[in-house]
Structure formats: structure tokens, C-alpha cells
């Protein structure tokens, strides 16, 4: 890390600014995770307790800090607040700081940060509802392609090919699974999530992401079977593993590719 980051900002100020912005966006992600699967507006009504419906005051809506001050309970009815809220906010901060440390205040850093936030939202909606809303993935595909326009519009081709390769691969799996295994093997949300990752990462890095996601998902499935927490053939959400692969490829995919090809 140099004395100043891109744009001439002092490092302490840059790190603090990114952490604050990431925490606020993490709080917004929680709204999206709660409301998008149900088709609800993410703008209205304002944040409120799901049990007593009391609107959350501004000083009780400070990311991470309010959860700690309130000890994980609603100020009004004392109902417990899900641990998902601080976890999502903390993950957003971690992704933001990793992007800053890896890429500085740059276009690549912003691209990876935005992708990471979208993948966090997709992961937790899949965990809670077994759905990945189109409201996350379809705009995400468009954003990924927009990011590919800089520094050269030719990058758009890489994003388009990445979206087609990743989405097409998962579509093929979804099409073949009922014919080969007699049951659905891949949901539409996973197909669109893979396409979104391809749009952001390009075709080479998205293949690294898929490989990592398949390996971690397979390992987790084996461990759950051994621990008797899952039965053979029982549903296991793949979206979170695919998202994990996407984050890994975004930050470390290029060195992995260089090592593999070298």
C-alpha cells in the first residue's frame, strides 16, 4: 500500500470512507433480501420491526452499531433481530475493504465491490427462500456488461461471452437433469446468477468461479452426508457456493489462471 491511494486520498480516510459506505449498502442489502423474494417494494414502507410493525428510528438503524447497542432485540417489543442483519453488513464491509486493498480506488475495485454485494444478496435470499430473485440477477447482468465497457469497449465482448458461456452451461445442466437423473438439477435462479457472474468476470474468470463453486459445493455435500445432516438426493442450495466461487474468482482468479496456464 502506497502513502496515498488513487485520487490522492490519504489511506486512513479512504479506508474509513469505504467501510462506512459498505456498511450502509449492507444495510440496504438486508432490505432487499427481506423484501425482494416476496415482491415487495424496497422503498416503501420504511424499515420496521416485522413483529410489532414499529418503524425503526434513525438512531436504531445504524449498521452494525445499532444491533450491538440493542443487544439484538427490537427496542419496542424486544423481539429478537435476526443475526443475518449484522452478518450481511459485516460481509459488505469486508468485501469493500478487500476491494480497496486489492485494487485501490479504481474501476476494477468498484466492479468487484458491486459484484460482491450482488452475490451477498443472492446468497442470503437463496439460503432463506431457495429463490434468487430476477430483481437481483437481471439488473446485475446489465451492470456487469456496463462495467466491461471500461477501459475499452472491447471488454463488452468478454462480458457477453462470459454471460452466455456460464448461463448456457447451467441451462444445459437444467435441461439434461430431468432426462438423465429424472429430477430438476438446476433452477432458473442459478442460471441467471451464473450469467450475471459471467457478465462481470468474463468467460475465463467465470469458469474459475464455477469450478471453485462446484468443488466447494461438492465438498460441503459430502461433509453433510457424513455428518448425517443431509440425505442422498436431498436439496442443497447451490447458489451460495456459486456466489462464493464468484467472489474468489473476482479477487484471486487472475493469479490462479496465470499459475495454471504457466
CA dist., res. 158 & res. 218, Å (int): 28
**Residue 14, C-alpha cell as written in the block:** 479512504
Can you say how many angstroms the Cα of residue 183 is from the centroid of all Cα atoms in its chain? Answer: 27
Respond yes or no on whether the N-terminal peptide bond of residue 94 is cis (omega within 30° of 0): no
The list of the chain residues with pLDDT below 50 reads 1-6
| 180 Cβ contact partners less than 8 Å away, ≥ 6 residues apart | none
Nearest-Å Rg of the Cα atoms of the chain is 20
Question: What does pTM read for this prediction?
Answer: 0.91
Can you say how many angstroms the Cα of residue 139 is from the centroid of all Cα atoms in its chain? Answer: 13
Q: Return the ∠ at Cα 96 (arms to 101 and 40), rounded to 5°.
A: 165
Dump pLDDT digits (tens) for 6-35.
Answer: 456 678 899 999 999 999 999 999 999 999
CA dist., res. 204 & res. 207, Å (int): 5
Q: Which residue has the cell 451464473?
A: 194
Mean pLDDT (the chain, rounded): 90
List phi, psi (to 5°) of 55: -60, 140
CB 93 within 8 A of CB 19: yes
Q: What is the pLDDT of residue 4?
A: 42
**Residue 206, C-alpha cell as written in the block:** 467465470
Amino acid at each position: 500500500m502506497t502513502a496515498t491511494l488513487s485520487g490522492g486520498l490519504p489511506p486512513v480516510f479512504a479506508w474509513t470512507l469505504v467501510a462506512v459506505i459498505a456498511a450502509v449498502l449492507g444495510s440496504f442489502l438486508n432490505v432487499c433480501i427481506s423484501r425482494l423474494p416476496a415482491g415487495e417494494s424496497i422503498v416503501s414502507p420504511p424499515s420496521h420491526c416485522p413483529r410489532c410493525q414499529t418503524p425503526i428510528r434513525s438512531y436504531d438503524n445504524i449498521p452494525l452499531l445499532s444491533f450491538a447497542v440493542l443487544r439484538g432485540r427490537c427496542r419496542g417489543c424486544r423481539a429478537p433481530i435476526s443475526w443475518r442483519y449484522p452478518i450481511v453488513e459485516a460481509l459488505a464491509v469486508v468485501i469493500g475493504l478487500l476491494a480497496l486493498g486489492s485494487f485501490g480506488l479504481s474501476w476494477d475495485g468498484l466492479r468487484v465491490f458491486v459484484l460482491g454485494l450482488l452475490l451477498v444478496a443472492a446468497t442470503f435470499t437463496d439460503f432463506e427462500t431457495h429463490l434468487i430473485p430476477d430483481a437481483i440477477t437481471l439488473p446485475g447482468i446489465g451492470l456487469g456488461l456496463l462495467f466491461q465497457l471500461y477501459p475499452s469497449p472491447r471488454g463488452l465482448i468478454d462480458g457477453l461471452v462470459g454471460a452466455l458461456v456460464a448461463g448456457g452451461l447451467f441451462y444445459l445442466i437444467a435441461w439434461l437433469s430431468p432426462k438423465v437423473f429424472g429430477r430438476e438439477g438446476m433452477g432458473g435462479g442459478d442460471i441467471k446468477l451464473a450469467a450475471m457472474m459471467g457478465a462481470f468476470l468474463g468467460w475465463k474468470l467465470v469458469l474459475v468461479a464455477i469450478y471453485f463453486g462446484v468443488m466447494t459445493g461438492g465438498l460441503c455435500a459430502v461433509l453433510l452426508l457424513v455428518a448425517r445432516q443431509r440425505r442422498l438426493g436431498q436439496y442443497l442450495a447451490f447458489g451460495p457456493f456459486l456466489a462464493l466461487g464468484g467472489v474468489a474468482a473476482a479477487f484471486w482468479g487472475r493469479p490462479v489462471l496465470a499459475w495454471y496456464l504457466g
